[in-house]
Amino acid sequence: MNRKTLVITDNTYAKSLAEELNTLFGDVDIAQSQTGQLKEVSRIDVSQVARSVIEKYDLVISIHCKQMFPKHLIESVRCINVHPGFNPYNRGWYPQVFSIIDGSASGVTIHEIDELIDHGKIIVQKKIELTEWDTSGSAYKKIMKAERQLLLEWFQRIRDEEYVASTPHSEGNLNLKKDFDGICKIQLDEIGPFRCFLDRLRALTHQNHRNAYFISKTGKKVFLSLQLELEE
Ligand code: 0FX
């Protein structure tokens, strides 16, 4: 049977992964959502997906698509999400950031999409151990590597619907962009154990992103990040 898959992604890693899937398995089309900024990838308004699109595919995979899939889409075609977190912990925005802060499990989850964010039945997941010296950036690299391996390993079974998905053991917790924005502002008078500050700054250190900041006496934002180095 000819099975056609649509991958919707707004992320450069995920775009290469989708291209790899197409090379290996064939019949994988790639699109980005309205918020995507990928070059040379067709754009689709996920909230308005046309019947013609739904009829063309029997599987739609979100790999870091920033637009939510609406009810009519998930009810019309099988929809799967690849999430860079270990559901149900830290569903939503930048899961590794919150795992570094609260010590909860980190990893990758491939799950069926329902109407809530990163919430549906779990098809497969892989835990990634983080170290005390991981930053968001180094954790993300590990997660992207695991995500690629897991999807390549499971794609055929997912496409052929040869899996048993299970309901997560709890609702877990959900972080939104505003939660991330909230932890980026450092209150200089905040009191607490040094470990908490260290973890927070590790969690906000991600390559060149200007995440953590405090407000200087002149009212300007001063951005900060950490450099950690493990002895040889
Ligand atoms: O695509 P993605 O890796 O993932 C995000 C959500 O975390 C994920 O749960 C959701 N399913 C997906 C649709 O969107 O995010 P990104 O490519 O925007 O950012 C990748 C990493 O970069 C992120 O985990 C943390 C870091 N980052 C990114 C931005 C834009 C920062 O530290 N600061 C930033 O301002």
Q: What is the pLDDT of residues 99-147, one digit of tens each?
A: 999 999 999 999 999 999 999 999 999 999 999 999 999 999 999 999 9
Task: Say if ligand 1 is within 6 A of residue 84 CB.
Answer: yes
Q: List CB contacts of 115: < 8 A, sequence separation 6 or more.
A: 71, 74
Pair 153, 121 in one domain: yes
Q: At residue 49, does pLDDT exceed 90?
A: no
pLDDT above 90 (res 50): no
| Whether pLDDT at 27 is above 60 | yes
Q: 211-231 pLDDT, tens per residue?
A: 999 999 999 999 999 999 999
Q: Does residue 1 have a pLDDT over 60? A: no
User: Would you say residue 229 lies in a domain?
Assistant: no
Active site residue 209: no
For a mutational test of ligand 1's pocket, the pick from 94, 176, 223, 225, i.e. the residue with the most ligand atoms closer than 8 A to its C-beta, is 94
Alpha-helix residue ranges (DSSP H) falling in 124-188: 136-159, 177-184
Q: What token pair was written down for 140?
A: 């993300």
Contact 116, 70 (CB under 8 A): no
121/169 same-domain check = yes
Q: How far is the CA of 79 from the centre of ligand 1 (A)?
A: 21
Question: Which range has the worst mean pLDDT, 1-5, 33-37, 87-91, 191-195?
Answer: 1-5
**CATH, residue 95:** 3.40.50.170
119 lines ligand 1 (CB under 6 A): no
pTM for the structure as a whole: 0.96
In a domain, 230, yes or no: no
Instruction: Tell me: do 180 and 170 sit in the same domain.
Output: no
Average pLDDT, the chain: 95
Dig out the tokens for 177 from the structure.
Answer: 């962009």
94 in contact with ligand 1, CB cutoff 6 A: yes
pLDDT on residue 64: 97
Does one domain contain both 61 and 25?
yes
Whether 2 has a pLDDT exceeding 70, the answer reads: no
Print the domain residue range for 48: 5-174
Q: How far apart are CA 113 and CA 81, in angstroms?
A: 6
Can you give the pLDDT at residue 87? Answer: 98
Q: Is the CB of 209 under 6 A from ligand 1?
A: yes
For 203, residues 6+ apart whose C-beta sits below 8 A from its C-beta are 96, 97, 98, 100, 101, 135, 136, 183
Ligand 1 touching residue 69 (CB < 6 A): no
pLDDT at 55: 87
Per-residue confidence (pLDDT) for residue 105, from 0 to 100: 97
Q: Are residue 195 and residue 94 in the same domain, yes or no?
A: no
Identify whether residues 25 and 124 lie together within a single domain: yes
Q: Looking at 64, 83, 119, 206, which residue is catalytic?
A: 83
CA-angle at 110, arms to 67 and 206, nearest 5° = 65
Q: What is the mean pLDDT of residues 58-86?
A: 95
- Residue 30 parent element (H or E): strand 28-32
> Looking at residue 54, what is its pLDDT?
85
Does one domain contain both 119 and 68? yes
Return the pLDDT at 138. 98
